[in-house]
Amino acid sequence: MKLLSVAPLLLLLLMMLEARPKPAGLALKCRTGPLDIVFVIDSSRSVRPFEFETMRRFMMDIIGSLDVGPNATRVGVIQYSSQVQNIFSLKTFFTQADMEKAINSIVPLAQGTMTGLAIQYAMNVAFTTQEGARPLHKKIPRIAIIVTDGRPQDRVTEVATQAQNAGIEIYAVGIQRADMNSLRAMASPPLEEHVFLVESFELIQQFGKQFQDKLCAVDACADGRHGCQHQCISTRGSYSCRCRAGYYLNQDKRSCTMIDYCSFGNHSCQHECVSIPNGHYCRCRSGFTLQPDSRSCRATDLCNGVDHGCEFKCVSTEGSYRCVCPEGQQLQADGKACSKCGAGHVDLVMVIDGSKSVRPQNFELVKQFVNRIVDLLEVSPHGTRVGLVQYSSRVRTEFPLNKYHSADEIKKAVMEVEYMEKGTMTGLALKHMVEHSFSELEGARPLSHSVPRIGLVFTDGRSQDDISEWARRAKESGIIMFAVGVGKAVEEELKAIASEPVEQHFSYSADFTTMTHLVENFKLNICPEEGKGEMEIRSPCECEALVQFQTNTVAILQSLTEKIAQMTARLEDLEKQIANKK
């Protein structure tokens, strides 16, 4: 679109400028020095009459803000389309009234858009001393204000360069769809200060104020609108931003970023490099101390430098520390306190057979067996933890070690367990126990805490898969395995599951009274300080926990034996009665 399409917007600018307060009886004038200004106005055919009237008002308003006179600012106006017409030269008028009268008499040319021709005319004619321009040696700025709304129909780059080399400062103002490349080609550097594209009211307002500031050589740094993060450097009618030492100017030409000296790769810091303005320094990771060379780091003896809170002893490690307890005592969950192990404190996972051969009535007895064991344990997050797994043709975790924290919660959950029925995949159940049930994710305490891990497998029949591999892996991983077989359980399989000594860790048949002698043997074999022979020395806390667990379990198994025997006798009587009736 051509220049006239922006006339309504320029009218708004005029209204805005007219609304600005003025000293009584006087208009605001630029009084910082004389200028030679020539308006180069595009009046091509797209400019409609009422739009050109707005253009007249725009020029007159700009002139009204200038201190015009033969020894002050001189103004000339030329218009162009396919040809160039001089309206008045720099020497013609020296009053605002005369200039306004000449501007009001302009008749638009209404032809093409020969911007290059207009720049050539301004350089060769309008800015000559014959037409009123002051000589170059007087150093009075020569300013051409080109206003256009379309793409030039001739070349502008070369002639604009010639004009600038001749001392003419060119401002290029584009209206709406003006070609930005052409504007940049004709404007003086820096382009961000000499190219304007007017396309909205906000830009019209910004353009009018900034443009007048430039013409009047306003100190942009002083008015506080520069936006420089660090320093503002004033130039005539403009400014530039500068950063403090140790920073560089970003692409927005206003904000600053600190130079990252560490990124140069020559800092030689052993651990960390920290950039600061004008340099860098080395920093050590937590638990280390920077050495006199200001580069290398050495581990700090944190036990001597911090309030570690260890009850017994603090042991420094690289960049950290840990608390240890005397032999026979156990480090508590807070990692600082020591205490003698509580009786029966273990991580216990019971793996119960839920195959169809167990039968619903016996499965209820098994659940009672589990709850009687729970009754004798000190269940708590820091005491004994209990998990339950049921298996048949598949394996199901009824609850993990970290699910419940009291005996009542566990007993309630046990009674809500539903009987699975189907097959007997004991090997699969052992695999599940090793890989999941005794993982720290499911609540097993770390081996370093010396809390015994006990697996108790209860089954009544032959396994339908191989048990040997996962029974071996369970014991190799430190799990103490108990195996209890009832009914059709296979003794060889139970012994394969049980820990050494096998005789003390498995029971088979309906009569559990044979296990009553195991308590003393258990203490003698596992806790060597109470017996003789060369045995593996284990933690006294672990021995105490195992003995307590063994004692409690035997009592429950004896009671369960009696109930199973009674149930078996009743079933046999019932089967005989049915056979007799047949």
Strand stretches in 47-97, DSSP E: 74-80, 84-88
Whole-angstrom distance, CA of residue 419 vs CA of residue 353? 9
Query: Please, what sign has the CA dihedral across residues 501, 504, 505, 509?
Result: positive
pLDDT of residue 217: 52
- H-helix segments, 441-490: 468-476
Residue 81: predicted pLDDT: 94
Tokens found for residue 452: 């015994």
Q: Give the C-alpha separation, 497 to 353, whole Å.
A: 14
List the one residue out of 515, 520, 493 whose CA is nearest residue 505. 515
Bridge partner list, 42: 80
Neighbours of 218 (CB within 10 A): 21
Specify the amino acid at residue 342. G
3-state helix, strand, coil in the chain (%, to 5): 40, 20, 40
Strand-by-strand arrangement of the 84-88 sheet: 84-88, 74-80, 36-42, 142-148, 168-175, 195-198
Which tokens belong to 77?
A: 């106006």
Name residues of the chain where pLDDT drops below 70.
1-33, 47, 51, 54, 176, 199-220, 222-225, 235-238, 305-306, 319, 327-330, 339-344, 508-562, 565, 582
SS3 state of residue 453: strand
Q: Are 423 and 393 in contact (CB under 8 A)?
A: yes
Supply the pLDDT for residue 555: 64
Dihedral angle over CA of 260, 264, 268, 270, nearest 10: 60
Question: Cβ distance 468 to 429 under 8 Å?
Answer: no
In degrees, to the nearest 5, what angle opens at C-alpha 304 toward C-alphas 302 and 306? Answer: 60
pLDDT tens digit sequence for 221-253? 766 667 899 988 876 556 789 898 889 999 998
**Among 285, 216, 249, residue whose Cα is nearest residue 66:** 216
Please give the structure tokens belonging to residue 116: 């290059």
Q: What is the pLDDT, as a whole number, of residue 325?
A: 81
d(CA 410, CA 405): 8
pLDDT per residue over 412-455, tens digit each?
A: 999 999 999 889 999 999 999 999 999 999 999 998 888 899 99
Residue 182 CB partners (closer than 8 Å, separation 6+)? 115, 148, 151, 152, 156, 172
Give the contacts of 559 (CB within 8 A, at least 6 positions apart).
372
Burial class (CB in 10 A: 0-12, 13-18, 19+), 76: buried
Q: Which two tokens mark 22?
A: 């003025």
